[in-house]
Each structure stands twice: as structure tokens, then as C-alpha cells.
Structure 1
Amino acid sequence: MASGSVSGSLSSPKVEVIIDTGNPFLNLTVDGFLKIGAVAVTRSVAEDTYNILRKGSVSSNDFEKTLKKMCKEGAYWGAIAGVYVGMEYGSERILGTRDWKNATLGGALTGALASAVSNNKADKIAIDAITGAAIATAAEFINYLT
């Protein structure tokens, strides 16, 4: 019986946006804002394009609505990412180590801050902090495995 094998690797493209503010904290925060903000804008465009194609017609109102949604989503998710990256970097500098605990702390602080800004109650803020910590920690572990 014949046999064969396939080998290969999968890697994601790297996009480097270099903005030098002279401060590593600000550099990382702006980089996180721009990268995740761009992802949110792309997702928003794809979703609205699908909805417009499904509807079968395009109006200037659709275009205006899509543009507003792109700006809102990009700014919101970019700000969340910027805060997370800044919090993670800050905890790294304070703790003096670079490990998963920084991601956990950054995720918890970002989740709590985003929730508090939305005028949520203390219980919801705590739940969002736990969720942020869990997501950030899981992402860190997955990133470590690959």
C-alpha cells in the first residue's frame, strides 16, 4: 500500500506600523489602537457589504450608515486594544517580568475600565474584569503554544 505525507507551516502576515513618539508605552498603545481599530473597521465593512448585497440595492443612506459604523467600531475597539496594550506594558514594567501574569492583569484592568466607563454596576464591572483577564490569559497561552 502506498503512503505519503504532507508537511508545511501556517503563518500569519506581519504588518508593522512604526510610529515613534519617543516613548515605548505610547508607541505600543498607538500600535495596538491602529491594528485592532483596522480589524474592527474591516469587519464592519464586510458585515455591511454582506447586508447590502443581501438586500440587493445600495443607497446613499447605506453608505453614510456604514461610514459612521466603521468610525465608531474602529475607535471603540482600537481604544480597548490601546488600553489593554498599555496596561500590559505598564504591569510588565512594574512587575519587572514578562509573562502571562501581565496579560491577566492587563485584561482584568481593561475589562474593568471598559465596563466602568459604560456606567455598569459593581457586579458587572467585576464580571467584565474576570472576562477580560480570562480572554487575555487564554490568548497569551495560545500565543505561547504557536
Structure 2
Amino acid sequence: MPSARLSGSPRLDVAIDMGNPFLNLTVDGFLKIGAVAATRSAAEDTYHIIRNGNISSHDFEKTLKKMCKEGVYWGTLAGVYLGMEYGVERIRGTRDWKNAMIGGAVTATLLSVATTNNKDKIVPDAITGAAIATAAEFINYLT
């Protein structure tokens, strides 16, 4: 998977071999993005606790549950997207921005169907997912 980093930023790579490139990408995306989401959640709750000036075991438990929920949600979303993009690449037999567009559209469609009862929202969500994934791919080409 292509990667970019800021100068001087720490890098941590965890390699888990599932025996299949599709599973490797999916699990890698789940772990990396899930860890980022959990860390963001922890930082946000820490800020609110410090601002309020007190901490209780209830606050700690609430923060831990939120970290797990956010980590699993965003990790799953990233894993599905990376799996879809890889699957499209294998089906099409080429690696280009269209794979990201299709993967983003399919992932956003699945997310929309799973989280909303509004059928009119599914197509705009798919378009948004495709646009975001395509833009991210183009930005990645620039770096």
C-alpha cells in the first residue's frame, strides 16, 4: 500500500500475514485507521475531562467504550474500502484512480444502506464516497 509521511514523523508498521493479499490489506486498513480513530476519540475526551476539571471512573469507562466504538467503526469502513479497491483492481486488471472511485462508491453505498432508511440518500452518498476516494487518490499521486 502506498504511504506518505511528514518529515521526522514516527512510523510504525505492523505486518500481519493472513495468507491472502486481500485479507492482508483489509486487516491492515482496519488496524491502522481504527487505531487513529481510537486515539482521536481518546484525545477529544481527555480535552473535555481536563476542561471540566474532574475525572471519575464513569468518565474513564465512557471514554474507553467510545474509543472502541469509534475504532471499530472507522477501522471497518477503511477495511471495506481497501478490500473493495483491491477487488476492483484484481477484476479490472489495472491499477488506477478508477479503482478508488469504484471502491469509494461501493463502500459509501454499503454504509448508506446499513445506516439509513432513506433510499433517496443512497445515490448521493455513493457519489460522495466516489468523489472523496478519487480526490484522495489524486492527492496521493501529487505527493
**TM-score (normalised: structure 2):** 0.92
- 2:21 aligned residue: 24
Match of 2:62 among 62, 65, 81: 65
1:13/1:128 CA distance change after superposition, 3 Å: farther
Unaligned regions of 5+ residues in structure 1, if any? Answer: 1-8
Structure 2 partner of 1:4: none
> What is the match of residue 98 of structure 1?
95
Matches within 5 A, 1:72-91: 72-91=69-88
The DSSP-based 3-state class of the residue aligned with 2:72 is: helix
- Is 1:145 aligned to residue 142 of structure 2? yes
* Residue type at the aligned position of 1:73: E
Cα distance in 2 between the residues matched to 1:87 and 1:41:
23
- Structure 1's consecutive aligned runs of 4 or more residues displaced over 4 angstroms after TM superposition are none
Unmatched segments (≥5 aa) in structure 2 = none
- Asked whether 1:51 is paired with 2:38, we answer no
Q: 1:16: how far off?
A: 1.6
SS in 1 for 2:42: helix
Aligned counterparts of 1:88 and 1:70: Cα–Cα separation in 2: 27
* Partner residue, 1:128: 125
Equivalent-residue separation in structure 2 for 1:13 and 1:106 (angstroms): 29
Aligned length: 138
Q: TM-score, normalised to structure 1's length?
A: 0.90
Q: Does 1:34 align with 2:31?
A: yes
Give the % identical residues.
75
Deviation at 1:143, TM superposition (A): 0.5
